[in-house]
Chains A and B, each alone.
Chain A
Amino acid sequence: MEQASKVQQVIDRFERAGRDSLIPILQAVQHEQGYLSEDAVASISRHLAIPASKVYGVATFYNQFRFQPKGKYHILICRGTACHVKGSAKVLDAIRKHLKVEPGRTTRDKLFSLETVACMGACALSPVLCINDEFHAKVSPAKAIKLIEACRELEAARPAATA
């Protein structure tokens, strides 16, 4: 499969790698395919000669790694203290209800995925929301929904992708 060979290429970049390269490899693979598939975990385990269970153990320990593909629009909500004090819980709630999706998951139409992050380090702009690496500052629940709907409209306006 194309996907699998791409992952293999990424892994092969780490020649003669030791255990300390595990996290960088996981990061590189996730960067390539957007998440860590079962096959990818198995390939990494073969490459480093570490049991797949250990690889999986490390991957699940860290918040960065996901095991489900990202949606086309990846929404990150900051849950840092500054954002919390300024009402990010309400923003998260509004999005959860609006998209009917829990943090860490992707909507059925694969359009949106939702993730919370401990702190984005943009506390002066709190509450912060990030859609596909684009920051949105001082977001209210209403503004968040507007942003999501804008993404939807963008999709609807686009000519239907080749199915």
Chain B
Amino acid sequence: MKPFLHAEDLERHRESLVAAYDPDRVRITVCGGTGCNAQGSVKLVAALRDAVGRHGLAADVEVKVTGCHGFCEKGPIVVVRPANVFYVQVKAEDADELVRVTLKDNAIVERLLYHDPASGTRVVHEQDVPFYAKQTRVILAENGHLDPTSIDDYILRGGYSALAKALTAMRPEDVIAEVKQAGLRGRGGAGFPTGVKWELCRKQPGADKYVICNADEGDPGAYMNRSEIEGNPHLILEGMIIGAYAIGARHAYIYCRAEYPLAIEQLTRGIAQARECGLLGEDILGSGFSLDFVIKQGAGAFVCGEETALMHSIEGKRGMPTPRPPFPAQSGVFGKPSNINNVETWANVPLIVNRGAAWFSGIGSEKSKGTKVFSLVGCVNNTGLVEVPFGTSVRTIVEDIGGGTPRGRKFKAAQMGGPSGGCIPAAAIDTPVDYESLQALGAIVGSGGMVVMDDSTCMVDLAKYFMEFIQSESCGKCIPCREGTRRMKEILDALTRPRRKEGGVDALLRMQGLMQLEELAETIKTTALCGLGQTAPNPVLSTLRFFRDEYEAHLYDRQCPAGSCKELVGAPCQNACPAGTEVWRYVAHVARGEYNDAFRVIRDANPFPSACARVCHHPCEKSCRAGASGGGEPIAIRSLKRFVVDRVPASTYRPLARRPGTKSARVAVVGAGPAGLTAAHQLSLLGHRVTVFEREAVPGGMLVGAIPAYRLPRERLSAEIEELLNDNLDLRTGAALGRDFTVDGLLADGYKAVYLALGSHQSKTLDLPGEDAAGVIPGIRFLKAYNLHGEGLARGRVGIVGGGNSAMDAARVALRQPGVESVTMFYRRSREEMPAYAEEIEAGLAEGVAIEELVAPLAVHTKDGRLVGVRFQRNRLSEPDASGRRKPEPIPGSEFDAPLDTLIVAISEAPEAGLLDGLKLTKWGTLAANPESCLTSRPGVFAGGDVTTGPSTVIGAIAAGKRAAMMIDRYVNGKLLRVLPKVKLPSVFVAPAGDADDEGAPPAERVRTPHLPLAARVGNFDEVELCISEADACGEAHRCMRCDLEFTQPV
């Protein structure tokens, strides 16, 4: 091409390009960014070209490879323009159908459209995809349209017009003034005003000046610069040429990571094209201004993101920083005045020159102008590049654009700014993203990495990860950074790892370490030489600021709440079980067909295996790695347990007899629920003589009183309880605290300790007039009346207020009672927020329970002392509050009356206050007990289970009972009531079951637990959930990833 000698030549060329361009021509644009390439877009392009040729469309249709579209999650992305039909995850095999249906039949390939999970519909056009709809694309605007390998395409779309304008109509000072007025700030880190920086460099004496583009995107978790270069290289070149003109520089460097080969290729080609057109080199566009360009490949050193280090690297030295001053503007690369800016900063310059400072400063927030590209990655549904105006909230980015966190996990924090940045915790999710607001939270905009983390990410582990990174990237020049970061990493290592000894000096040293961590961090911050070092402690300081509780859990309890620190967690299933069941072990036994061994493992940790196999809320499955990082579904652990307990007779397990050499004592246990019976059983095994007092005629507590027989058959439960009794254990039913005996009386009778496991039996009331009318029944009373005495209290149209498990139990029990016409649950929040277990809700709905969500009762209508109906008001969910939760708020005028014959109030339960006289209560009305020692405010009186926690889970009560038994044993033996927390790692080797080859590969999907057909459930209390078959159990157990094998060795 003939070089343009003047700006007019460029314009004339543009006009000829525009004249030849047909905007209505069909163009299939395929994303050629790194993300889509990795997912097969190169093959796809070939296949599309092939298909176009085969259908005889070669003359009318152009297949165009463009830069990154940003929605990398769904790559490869294909957009058919001008209609903008948006296809996602297109494979080479789909090419033929895509071309045939879209271009020949003028229809749409439904299955390749984007499926919006929020609305459940398929989206046809690019602009309607929620991911794009909420973005403001300025820098990335051309990415999906432009062929990055063609300078003509860039010129056609207005490229280099800003350069022509600057060179012909503006003095260098005018350009600087425009950039200053626009309020452009550096996009690479601290956000220094770009215009001011340029001015400093311009004012330096000497003709030899340099401009440098920092494309050494070293922040892990950020890749926007890569896509900006790969998608639109000329935009950056144009910005740099304008900048060089404004500053008066003759030389330009682009320092680009060697890890970005495609970016380097695009830049090299772009520079050659620009030079050929006379847009680079001597006397650009006849203005007398000259500039030469060199690309330098970075060699993989994070510290080279620091400007002085980067300049040393350009000079061919080790990339080590030097103290400032002198600033690069005074003495930079080769000792000459230099100006360095980030890729995205340069990319903004042509836009500002073209459209004016006023346009630019109209976007963004008060002090942060323009847009910013973020790489939204980590635990978020729509990963990719997101461009939004400054001031957009983190919530908008993560929830609206990013589509929230996957698998229904909870958003925990967003890490921003890479290793120099910090975290935005969930509580601050409404923070507007701009330089000042983020700085106030200890984070930075940085280059724009935004790594989303959910509740499976451990913040201590994250801090450790960053310290490891910084420590290995520290250049070693100054001591605070070189040594300090190493020490910080050692402290974090000690926190996340068990020691040979967990007590004594070791524990003390660990404690001291944490105290010094903060001090060390502050020292490094104030004394390190360069920006990298000074910001190195930020990840630790930031996580300590917002997630101190997690550090404390690691330090004091030796627990990782997120279940992520391998050496504290061991097998995640075992770690998640409150009772510490060795889940991995019995699953392994099931896979080997050793069902008796499996049963022993289950029973060893849990005296209620059969009950838990049916009603446990299985936290083990939530943490199962086959479901979390394995990408599939968790093992159906509860179904496996059910298979084992249904098959193996309980007598297979024989508990070990009492330990010799300890004192035995008389202990009273009040309440024969899971907590009380567990404690009593464990104490009896330790040789103590235990008396269990139970108010009802049958033992079992809530297991028998509240949980209906269709979930837990009574004969299974009573057989299980029967197994727990022995010579040391005396069970007295029909003996009620307060009526038949008192705590004082028990202690006076010679019981050395009393364990109160009373449960939470008092249903809370609605506090509405008329609630005492006939037909209004507290939830627990309703359940007990049927479960314990066979009385069906529900009739006619039944309403249930509440959304928890006892509300759902009440609903399904009512449904099975004679004389009931309909059952409707009324819940004040949305259905998704109902605390009842998802499988219970589904079963209830299937059986015919109706759910009215977002309603609150206002008044109870009565006639002659009998309930006739309830007035409800509809709620809507408010804007999220500080904790991120949406509160229900009433909609005025939405009142309605529901005619009801029975109203069951199951909103929550509390302990019966009258029984707890003289003992300290918590502010929630539960009995106060020390979580470590289980001791109440009265010596010798222990407590646990629902009476201390409020209504909770069965396995939680069992764990409480086990702990109480241990503490009571220590108490009667005069030992200190504390034990050091111990890390429980898998310690028994179970050989993996036979090779998969023998039995075929394990099934790919989770087993579906069979249920009683709906028709067979009507009017009876037969068990609904059924047992899986032996073949299914074996297959399911084979799916286990055996996390335990990392810790055990064959004997």
State the A residues within 8 Å of B (CB).
Answer: 18-24, 26-27, 57-58, 61-65, 79-87, 89-90, 117-126, 128, 135-138, 140, 142
Q: Is B457 an interface residue, CB under 8 A from the partner?
A: yes
Kindly state the separation between the CA atoms of A126 and B221 in the bound complex, as whole angstroms.
9
Known: A58-B318, A86-B629, A118-B300. Is A137-B39 also a contact (CB below 8 A)?
yes
A136 / chain B contacts, CB cutoff of 8 Å: 38
Kindly state the separation between the CA atoms of A64 and B259 in the bound complex, as whole angstroms.
Answer: 9
User: Could you tell me if B222 and A123 are in contact, using CB atoms closer than 8 angstroms?
Assistant: yes
- Say yes or no: B315 contacts A119, CB within 8 Å: no
CA distance A87 to B318 in the complex (A): 32
Query: With contacts A63-B300, A117-B300, A118-B302 known, is A125 near B317, CB below 8 A?
Result: no
Asked if B125 is at the interface of the complex by the 8 Å CB criterion, the answer is no
> Given A81-B418, A81-B449, A86-B379, A122 and B35 touching (CB < 8 A)?
yes
Known: A85-B451, A118-B220, A121-B34. 7 other contacts (CB 8 A): A21-B316, A23-B316, A62-B319, A81-B415, A84-B462, A90-B629, A117-B300
> What are the residues of chain A within 8 A of B258 when measuring CB–CB?
27, 64
Restricting to B292-324, which residues have a CB under 8 Å from any CB of A? 296-297, 299-302, 313-319
> What's the nearest-Cβ distance from chain A to residue B421, in Å?
10
Nearest-CB residue, chain B, relative to A61? B318
If A19-B317, A81-B449, A122-B34 touch, whether A24 touches B297 (CB-CB below 8 Å) is yes
Contact B319 A81 (CB under 8 A): no
List, in ascending order, chain A residues with CB within 8 A of B334's CB. 20
B220:A124 contact, CB within 8 angstroms: no
A138-B631 CB under 8 A given contacts A61-B319, A124-B73 = yes
Say yes or no: B377 contacts A82, CB within 8 Å: yes
**Which residues of B sit under 8 angstroms from A138, Cβ to Cβ?**
631
Taking CB as reference atom, which chain A residue is nearest B260?
Answer: A121
Distance from A86 Cβ to chain B, minimum over Cβ atoms (Å): 7
Residues in chain A near residue B220, CB distance under 8 A: 79-84, 118-119
State the Cβ distance, A87 to closest chain B Cβ, in Å. Answer: 4
Given contacts A82-B220, A117-B259, A119-B222, contact A142 B630 (CB under 8 A): yes
Looking at chain B, what size class is its interface with the partner chain?
Answer: 35 or more
Q: Mark B68-83, 1 if CB is under 8 A from A, else 0.
A: 0000110100000000
Given A119-B218, A123-B221, are A65 and B378 neighbors across the interface (CB < 8 Å)? no
Map CB proximity to A onto B345-357 as digits: 1 under 8 Å, 0 otherwise. 0000000000000
- Residues of A contacting B378 with CB < 8 Å? 81-82, 85-86, 123, 126
B630–A140 CB distance below 8 A: yes
Q: How far is the CB of B91 from chain A (nearest CB, A)?
A: 14
Complex Cα spacing A101 to B334, Å: 42
Show 11 residue pairs from A and B whose CB-CB distance is below 8 angstroms, ordered by the A residue: A20-B315, A62-B300, A62-B319, A64-B299, A85-B378, A85-B462, A118-B473, A119-B223, A121-B257, A122-B223, A124-B73
Given contacts A82-B451, A122-B35, A122-B223, contact A23 B296 (CB under 8 A): yes
Chain A residue at minimum C-beta to C-beta distance from B379: A85
CA distance A27 to B1041 in the complex (A): 42
Q: CB distance A140 to B383 under 8 Å? A: no
Closest to B257 in A: A121
With a cutoff of 8 Å between Cβ atoms, the chain B residues found around residue A86 in the complex are 378-379, 629
Nearest CB of chain A from residue B909's CB, rounded to whole Å = 39
| A126 partner residues in chain B, CB cutoff 8 A | 377-378, 383
Proximity bits, B108-120, A CB within 8 Å = 1, else 0: 0000000000000
Q: How far is the CA of A132 from the CA of B282 in the complex (A)?
A: 41
Q: Is B217 an interface residue, CB under 8 A from the partner?
A: yes
The residue on A at minimum CB distance from B415 is A81
Which residues of B, 450-476, contact A by the 8 Å Cβ criterion? Answer: 451-453, 457, 462, 465-466, 469, 473, 475
Q: Which of A86, A90, A125 has the most CB of B within 10 A?
A: A125
Residues on B facing A (Cβ under 8 Å): 34-35, 37-39, 72-73, 75, 217-223, 226, 257-260, 296-297, 299-302, 313-319, 334, 375, 377-379, 383-385, 415, 418, 449, 451-453, 457, 462, 465-466, 469, 473, 475, 629-631, 1041
Whether B316 contacts A19 by the Cβ 8 Å rule is yes
Give the distance to chain A from B673, nearest Cβ to Cβ, in Å. 40
Of A21, A58, A65, A117, most B-chain CB atoms within 10 Å? A58
For B451, the chain A residues whose CB sits under 8 A away are 81-82, 85, 123
CA distance A110 to B297 in the complex (A): 28
The answer to whether B38 and A122 have CB atoms under 8 Å apart is yes
- A61–B312 Cα distance when bound, in Å, is 12
Residue of B at shortest CB range from A55?
A: B316
Total contacts A-B at CB 8 Å: 149
The CA of A128 and the CA of B377, in the complex, are separated in Å by 13
**Contact partners of A58 in chain B: CB under 8 A:** 316-318
Contact B299 A65 (CB under 8 A): yes
Complex contact A81–B221 (CB within 8 A): yes
Nearest first, the 9 A-B pairs at minimum CB distance are A124-B72, A135-B38, A80-B220, A81-B221, A62-B299, A63-B300, A121-B223, A82-B377, A22-B316
> When chains A and B are docked, how far (Å) is the Cα of A140 from the Cα of B314?
38
The 8 Å CB contact of A121, one of B259, B379, B630, is B259
Q: Smallest Cβ distance from B77 to chain A, in angstroms?
A: 12
Please, which residues of chain A bring their CB within 8 A of the CB of B259?
117, 119-121
Interface centre among B297, B317, B319, B1041 (most CB of A within 10 A): B317
Give A136 to B222 CA distance when docked, in angstroms: 18
Could you say which residues of chain A place their CB within 8 Å of the CB of B38?
A: 122, 125, 128, 135-137
Measured CB to CB, the nearest residue on chain A to B469 is: A118
Bound CA span A70–B217, Å: 25
Q: A140 and B629: CB pair below 8 A?
A: yes
CB-based nearest B residue for A134: B38
Residues in B with CB closer than 8 Å to A22 are 316
For the complex, what is the distance from the CA of A137 to the CA of B377, rounded to whole Å? Answer: 13
CB nearest to A27 among chain B residues: B297
Chain B residue numbers with a CB within 8 Å of A24 are 296-297
Residues of B within 8 A of A26 (CB): 299
Residues of chain B with a CB closer than 8 A to A83's CB: 220
Residue contact B314 to A20, C-beta cutoff 8 Å:
yes
Q: A residues within 8 A CB of B299?
A: 23, 26-27, 62-65
Assuming the A-B contacts A23-B316, A81-B221, are A87 and B629 also in contact, with contact meaning beta carbons closer than 8 angstroms in the complex?
A: yes
The minimal Cβ–Cβ distance linking A8 to chain B, given in whole angstroms, is: 20
Q: Are A123 and B223 in contact (CB under 8 A)?
A: yes
Chain A residues within an 8 Å CB radius of B415: 81
A118 CA to B302 CA, complexed, in Å: 8
The smallest beta-carbon distance between B821 and chain A, in angstroms, is 51
CA distance in complex: A87, B1041 (Å): 15
**B465: A residues at CB distance < 8 A:** 81, 84, 89
Given known contacts A64-B300, A119-B222, A20 and B316 CB-to-CB distance under 8 angstroms:
yes
- Taking the closest CB of chain A, its distance from the CB of B43, in whole angstroms, is 12
Which residues of chain B are near A135, meaning CB under 8 Å? 34, 37-38
A65 to B300, CA, bound (A): 9
Q: Chain B residues near A19 (CB, 8 Å)?
A: 315-317
Rounded to whole Å, the gap between the CB of B484 and the closest CB of chain A is 20
Contacts known (A81-B451, A118-B218); A125 close to B318, Cβ less than 8 A: no
Q: How far is the CA of A21 from the CA of B301 in the complex (A)?
A: 17
User: Is B314 touching A124 in the complex (CB atoms < 8 A)?
Assistant: no
**Which of A23, A138, A140 neighbours the largest number of chain B CB atoms within 10 Å of its CB?**
A23
Give Cα A38 to B302, complex, Å: 26
* Chain B residues positioned under 8 Å from A62 (CB to CB): 299-301, 319
Give the CA-CA distance A117 to B299 in the complex, in Å: 11
Q: Is the CB of B316 within 8 A of A85?
A: no
Q: How far is the CA of A19 from the CA of B217 in the complex (A)?
A: 24
- Return A79 CB to nearest CB of chain B, in Å: 7
Contact A124 B384 (CB under 8 A): yes
Contacts of B462 in A (CB 8 A): 84-85
Tell me which residues across on chain A come within 8 A of B631, comparing CB atoms. Answer: 138, 140
Question: Nearest-CB distance from A7 to chain B (Å)?
Answer: 18
A47 CB to closest chain B CB, in angstroms?
Answer: 13
Check B301–A119 contact: CB distance below 8 A: no
Pairwise interchain contact A61-B383, C-beta atoms closer than 8 A? no
B377 A124 Cβ-Cβ under 8 A = yes
